Chains A and B, each alone.
Chain A
């Protein structure tokens, strides 16, 4: 059963610490999205990759967030330094360039204290 895998599922960290979230997309999918979900802002698109190349990261705070895709089986989202306002659920989704399907991981709930 193909699925998108995100780790960790939960993360509690202190302000100022570095946080790394990982995503394993579905094999064969060539597009990876990162979203942040909060009550106030809904689902915000942070960045996305196509064939491992970053296409758009305009939704990310550039000074502290970075997204990479070192290989086809791994995408990472890093926050350094983390702040309490970064507390949210972060989702990764993978899909096909045709747009025919897009599936989500279970998300990482991040709490910055």
Chain B
């Protein structure tokens, strides 16, 4: 089974600064998707950004962008101009025939 590793249990960043969350995965498949989800205190899981493995171009959604390194099996999330509302748990997910999650990174944005 595919495994997803998020090695940073907790991170903090000052408001307006940039932060990068790390994610690595292990798979033998060639076609898959990678997602980042945000879970604020409301517990709702919100899809932040997704990346198709067959695309070399890194996905971008407003202040959120990814650095997808397929050979290294790495999928990091960069949040630019951090806002207080970005405070949440962030989960990396690997999607092929099922969807597996990392353990999450708790991000705190400080004023």
Chain A residues with a Cβ under 8 A of chain B: 33, 35, 42-43, 45, 48, 55-56, 89, 91, 93, 95, 99-104, 106-107, 109
8 smallest A-B Cβ distances: which pairs?
Answer: A104-B45, A43-B101, A99-B33, A99-B95, A42-B103, A48-B98, A107-B43, A106-B44
The distance in angstroms between the C-alpha atoms of A103 and B50, with both chains bound, is 12
| Residues B43 and A106 in contact, CB atoms below 8 Å apart | yes
Inside 8 A of A55's CB, which chain B residues have their CB? Answer: 97-98
Q: List 21 A-B contacts (CB under 8 A).
A: A33-B99, A42-B102, A42-B104, A43-B101, A43-B104, A45-B98, A45-B100, A89-B43, A95-B99, A99-B32, A99-B33, A99-B95, A99-B96, A99-B99, A100-B52, A102-B47, A102-B93, A103-B47, A106-B44, A107-B43, A107-B44
B91 within 8 A of A: yes
The A contact surface, by secondary structure, is: strand
Nearest opposing residue in chain A for B96, CB measure: A99
Question: B98 and A33: CB pair below 8 A?
Answer: yes
Q: Which residues of A contact B44 (CB under 8 A)?
A: 104, 106-107
Chain B interface residues toward A at CB < 8 A? 32-33, 35, 37, 43-45, 47, 50, 52, 91, 93, 95-104
* Further contacts, 4 of them, CB under 8 A, given A99-B32, A102-B95: A42-B103, A95-B95, A102-B99, A103-B47
A90 to chain B, nearest CB (A): 11
Q: Which chain A residues border B93 with CB–CB below 8 Å?
A: 102
Q: Say whether A45 contacts B43, CB under 8 Å.
A: no
> What chain B residues lie within 8 Å of A43 (beta carbons)?
91, 101, 104
Chain A residues lying within 8 Å of B95, measured Cβ to Cβ, are: 95, 99, 102
Bound together, the chains give a CA A53 to CA B4 distance in angstroms of 26
Cβ-defined contact, B99 with A100, below 8 A: no
Inside 8 A of B35's CB, which chain A residues have their CB? 102
Contacts of B50 in A (CB 8 A): 100-101
Selected contact of A45 from candidates B37, B52, B91, B99, CB within 8 Å = B99
Residues of A within 8 A of B96 (CB): 99
How distant is A113 from chain B, measured CB to nearest CB, in Å?
A: 20
